[in-house]
Structure 1
């Protein structure tokens, strides 16, 4: 267990160092700007690494849940655990997140720490991290678009659509299949299964919020379209609004 602890500590130092670097690079921006850049880097990096570990290097998470941890799985989980510890501490210090996000981070830290201590079930936990983080770059993109005044554009709509589609299909759809394989297999320990259920329940809490957001945005888009149609106003062309005479 000493080796994983050392890897987690080194990972934490690396993420803190990257955060400090971004703070120095973007000194005119707020601290959250730099933190979200770190989150974006972690999201892209961990999706690539966990995707390779889970779906190429193996073992296949839907077939071999509860299998012993491989060295590569352990390294990826240690890298991600260091980030979650950093982000959890940052969120608590700056008080930027609510109970649901803090619960998600807490479950992630406890889940990764548990499978590292048990030395098994890294296969399915790695797949859960992949599913959780695959939507993260789009979530951060939405925030950066808002901060730069580019959210209410076609690019903002595309980012929202991709985020919603990925969340529904991967975290809810594929996540349900992974949870079924986890619960139906006799190999994983009961505490690991309980952790999987808890993580999936948190995903559904997020899903309810996303569904409400998608409904409100759709209604707003529809009302805007109806208003433009009623007034005979068409979108801007070459910088000038065209009206029907």
Structure 2
């Protein structure tokens, strides 16, 4: 446990240092651009790290919820906690995040702190982080595409579709199974079960917003497709009339 604060401090310093470096390299891009680059880097790194912890190192979170933390699980949580402390500080400094997102940050920090302080439940906490961060690179890609003017394209539609499918399938679907296992596990403490309720509830709040977005965008794309189809019919009709007149 003595090494945990040092690991968290090193993680916080590392993510903060990366942000400062990016601001030096691309000062004209602005703070949010560079912060999202840090977020994208963390998303890829923590998904890779927690995937190894879950699928290779073990134990399996669906059967060992509430078990004692392993050294690799602890290190993964320290890396993630350092990032969340950096990102929460950035959000407070520059603003722009919704109350729900700030609540998600606070719940994530509290959950990781509890797992580290109690020395247990890092197993399912790493699984929650994996599921939560799996869609994060897609979310950042969507933002970068918007800033670069390439969002309204087939690539933008593909990113949105993959994001919705992964969010619904992993965070809500598989997350629901993990949530049930955590609630029914005799090893998991009551406070960690309460944290699971908060995190899964937030996932459903995001899911409702995402479903609304998906419905609106699919309806818009369908309407655009109908208009293009109508225009192509008109163009073909005019072309046929012109051909007949020339004959």
Band of TM-score, shorter chain: over 0.9
Which structure 1 segments of 5+ residues have no match? 235-242
Q: Does 1:178 align with 2:178?
A: yes
The equivalent of 2:51 in structure 1 is 51
Match status 1:75 vs 2:75: yes
In the alignment, which residue of structure 1 is the partner of 2:92?
A: 92
Bigger helix share: 2
User: In angstroms, what is the RMSD of aligned CA positions?
Assistant: 1.0
Q: For residue 41 of structure 1, what is the aligned residue in structure 2?
A: 41
Per-residue CA deviations over 1:190-232 (Å, capped at 9, x if unaligned) read 1000101100000001001100100110110111111112222
How far residue 233 of structure 1 moved from its aligned partner, in angstroms, is: 6.5
**Match of 1:136?**
136
CA distance in 2, matches of 1:2, 1:233: 72
2:23 maps to: 23
The aligned residue for residue 208 of structure 1 is 208
Unaligned ranges ≥5, structure 2 = 240-247
1:169 correspondence with 2:181? no
Rounded to whole Å, the distance in 2 between the matches of 1:39 and 1:81 is 13
- TM-score, reference length from structure 1: 0.95
Q: Quick one: distance in 2 between partners of 1:143 and 1:124? A: 29
Deviations 1:139-188 (A, max 9, x none): 00000000000000111011011100000000000000000111111110
1:88-113 CA distance string (max 9 Å, x none): 01011111101010011000000000
Aligned to 1:193: 193
1:14 aligns to 2:9 (yes or no): no
Q: What is the aligned length?
A: 237
Separation in structure 2 between the aligned mates of residue 214 and residue 112 of structure 1, nearest angstrom: 31
For residues 169 and 100 of structure 1, the distance between their equivalents in structure 2, rounded to whole angstroms, comes to 21
Structure (1 or 2) with the larger CA radius of gyration: 2
Correspondence for 1:63: 63
